[in-house]
Copies of this chain bind each other. A is one copy, B any other.
Amino acid sequence: MNDLRITSVHNPRVREAAGLRDRKQRKRTGCCLIDGVRELTRALEAQILPIEVFFCSDMLSGADASALRGQLRETQTPTVEVTEQVFAKLAYGERADGVVAVARMPSALLADLELPHGGLVAVVEGLEKPGNLGAILRSADGAGVSAVLVADPNTDLFNPNTIRASVGTIFSVCVATSTAAEIKSWLVAREFQIIAARVDAKFDYFVADYKQATAIVLGSEAEGLSEVWRTAEVTPVRLPMLGISDSLNVSAAAAILFYEARRQRILSAP
Interface residues of A (CB under 8 A from B): 42, 45, 135, 138-144, 165, 167-169, 172-173, 204, 206, 239-245, 247-249, 251-256, 259-260, 262-263, 266-267
Expressed in whole angstroms, the Cα–Cα distance for A138 and B135 within the complex equals: 16
Expressed in whole angstroms, the Cα–Cα distance for A256 and B255 within the complex equals: 6
Chain B residues with CB under 8 Å of A168's CB are 244-245
User: Which 8 pairs of residues, A with B, have the shortest CB-CB distance?
Assistant: A141-B243, A144-B242, A252-B255, A256-B259, A172-B244, A206-B263, A139-B252, A142-B241
Expressed in whole angstroms, the Cα–Cα distance for A45 and B245 within the complex equals: 12
Expressed in whole angstroms, the Cα–Cα distance for A241 and B142 within the complex equals: 4
Assess whether A169 is in contact with B252, with CB atoms less than 8 Å apart: no
Expressed in whole angstroms, the Cα–Cα distance for A124 and B238 within the complex equals: 26
Expressed in whole angstroms, the Cα–Cα distance for A17 and B267 within the complex equals: 54
Chain B residues with CB under 8 Å of A42's CB are 244-245
Chain B residues with CB under 8 Å of A142's CB are 239-243, 245, 247-248, 252
**In this complex, which of A138, A173, A240, A243 has the most chain B Cβ atoms within 10 angstroms of its Cβ?**
A243
Expressed in whole angstroms, the Cα–Cα distance for A169 and B249 within the complex equals: 12
Expressed in whole angstroms, the Cα–Cα distance for A229 and B10 within the complex equals: 51
Chain B residues with CB under 8 Å of A249's CB are 135, 138-139, 165, 251, 255
If A138-B252, A204-B266, A252-B251 touch, whether A259 touches B239 (CB-CB below 8 Å) is: yes
Chain B residues with CB under 8 Å of A204's CB are 263, 266
Q: Please name 11 further chain A to chain B contacts, defined as beta carbons within 8 Å, in addition to the given A168-B245, A248-B255, sorted by A numbering.
A: A135-B249, A135-B252, A138-B249, A142-B239, A144-B242, A169-B243, A239-B259, A249-B255, A251-B252, A256-B256, A260-B263
